[in-house]
Amino acid sequence: MHVTVTDGSSIGRAGQRMAVATLASRVAGFLRILVLAAALGLGTRLLDTYNVANTLPNAVYELVVGGTMASIVVPLLTRATLTEPDGGVLYAQRLLSLIVYVLAGVTVLAILGAPLLIDLYAPGFTREQRDLAIVFSRFFLPQILFYGVSATTGAILNIRGRFAAPAWAPLANSVIVIAVGLTYLVTGGSTGTGLSTGDLLLLAAGTSAGVFAQMMLVVWALRRSGFPIRLHLDPRGIAIRRIGRLGVWVLLSVVAAQTLTAAATRAASWAGPGGITAYQNASAVYLVPFAVIAVSVMTAMLPRLSQYAARGEHQRVTTGLSRAVRTALVVMAPIAAAFLLLGPDIAVVLFDHGNSSAATVRVLGLVLAAFGLTLVPFTSYMILQRGLYALQDTRTAALITALVSAVGVAGCAAAGWLLPAGDIVVGIPVAFAIAYTTGLNVTALVLRRRLGHIDGRRLIRTHVRVLAATVTGALCAGAVLLTLDAPALLTLLAAVPAGAAGYLVAGRLLRLAELRHLLNLALPRLRTW
């Protein structure tokens, strides 16, 4: 079978196509969040309950398998395509089989342990919320298996140079859940925790149906690519012991990351009705630029970095990481500034509709503004972590993640102890910012030692120039805010273009090469920049 691994000439085009697909999926994901907020009521106990229950499948999946995708599975699949005579087909089949068997067992155990999981993530729930969350979670937890199959088949497609289907598949998930939310809204579904059987089944079964459709689209794309999908009763022959040795450290890494997520959710649950939803929805908004830009770049570059690392070409690993960090930075920095300045207005435009509580919308806006402090260090940290994954140094990555988690958990605990209940959720992203800044600096130091250097001068030069351009754009947007007294939507329509214009002009004057490159990709006819 012919196998195509993404090469250098196609990495940019692959990243562009993935960014478009991810943007479409994220837009649909936004609509999904907005529809659910309008239907279930932003600030109601029902939406908090639904969100916590729907968080559990992702948390358990990440704990068991999700963390191994980037750190172990992709590098091993890449090596198999280069070394196995069949291009790694049998290896991939056996790996898929192992993941299916493991996740099927984990799903059963998670369903049985649903009450314990709810108590872990939301100790502040009322009795009625807890009971409903347990019922929801038992419908949602089969998503663990769906996510695992989708991610593994997507990784196999990516290794073979096919990025479209895994990037587009979440769109189907969101479309189905949007239909569920609109149906619930139109039929007058309750916003309380005492749901009828019909309302419960619509929300619970409909949500899991979206994840199932996402999985089936990726599986269909893999089969259509010519890859023979076959489960083996005996999945041995894929170096399970080696995966286990690497996986021990990945497990530590994922446990640390999920501990931080659980600590943040627990802290938000003490903030009262709407606290969890305000935190999770603000987090969803803040992660959109990361997913569209950084995840697209990281997914497209990881197979290539793994090839370089396997060949001992550390200089090329350094170059790739530096380029990825600088490219992401010129996009993320102005977006982070926009969150800081315009978070409350963004929250009003997106969420102040339907059954939403105005008080919860206000808190959500403050949380989103605080997340502006987190976006840049989080993005750079995640990109540099891919360098450790490409080197298959899961031990160091795990230890750094544990450090990040410890700092973040301490910050969330401090927010819960020191801040009034209504402000706890605002303190969570501040804790995240401190944690990821710590992780970024430590990862950079480790990579410098492992690779010899990390292109430090160029990185520092780019950071200084981007900071200057971002401050210029923020001043332009701030001037609009000071002079304009208008509804939130009009404020955004005036302030965002002003800030973007200031940033672009300053970027040109400062000769930001990375920004020029991105603009030339987005606007091929632009030649005078």
Tokens of 398: 């795990």
Report, as an integer, the average pLDDT of 212-226: 91
Cα separation, 180 vs 203, in Å, equals 7
CB atoms within 10 A of CB 442: 17
Residue 87 has pLDDT above 90, yes or no: no
d(CA 291, CA 231): 31
Of the candidates 297, 328, 224, 384, the one whose C-alpha atom is nearest the C-alpha of residue 13 is 297
Q: Which residues 6+ apart lie within 8 Å of 482 measured at CB?
A: none
Strands (E), 456-513: none
Q: Which span out of 86-90, 164-168, 258-262 was modeled with the highest average pLDDT?
A: 258-262
Structure tokens belonging to residue 374: 């987190």
**For the segment 247-271, what is each residue's pLDDT rounded down to a tens digit?**
677 677 778 888 898 899 889 988 8
The owner of tokens 């919320």 is 129
* Maximal C-alpha separation, the chain: 69
**pLDDT at position 386:** 83
Place of tokens 């969100």: 51
The amino acid sitting at 228 is: P
Cα(254)–Cα(175) distance, rounded to whole angstroms? 29
The residue with tokens 């501990």 is 259
Q: Do residues 286 and 260 touch, judged by C-beta distance below 8 A?
A: no
The pair of three-digit structure tokens given for residue 229, joined into one six-digit string: 């999908």
CA 388 – CA 306 distance, rounded (Å)? 10
pLDDT for the residue 378: 94
C-alpha span between 306 and 313 (Å, rounded) = 10
Please state, in angstroms and as integers, the Cα–Cα distance from residue 345 to each residue in 123, 359, 361, 435, following that order: 31, 14, 10, 27
Backbone angles phi, psi at 357, to 5 degrees: -85, 130
Q: Is 451 left (phi over 0), alpha (psi -120 to 50) or beta?
A: alpha
Confidence band, pLDDT 50/70/90 cuts, at residue 524: low
Task: Return the axis-axis angle of helices 114-121 and 127-140, rounded to nearest 10°.
Answer: 120
Q: How much of the chain, in percent, has pLDDT values that exceed 90?
A: 40
Mean pLDDT of 386-414: 88
Confidence of residue 2 (pLDDT cuts 50, 70, 90): very low
Q: Is the pTM of this model over 0.85?
A: no
Type of residue found at 340:
L
* Higher-scoring residue by pLDDT: 84, 98: 98
| 84 vs 198, residue with greater confidence | 198
How confident is residue 480, by pLDDT bands cut at 50, 70 and 90?
A: very high
Beta strands in 147-297 (DSSP E): none
Banded model confidence at residue 4, pLDDT cuts 50, 70, 90: very low
The stretch 400-408 carries a mean pLDDT of: 94
| Helices 89-112 and 45-61: angle between axes, nearest 10 degrees | 140
Q: What is the mean pLDDT of residues 212-238?
A: 83
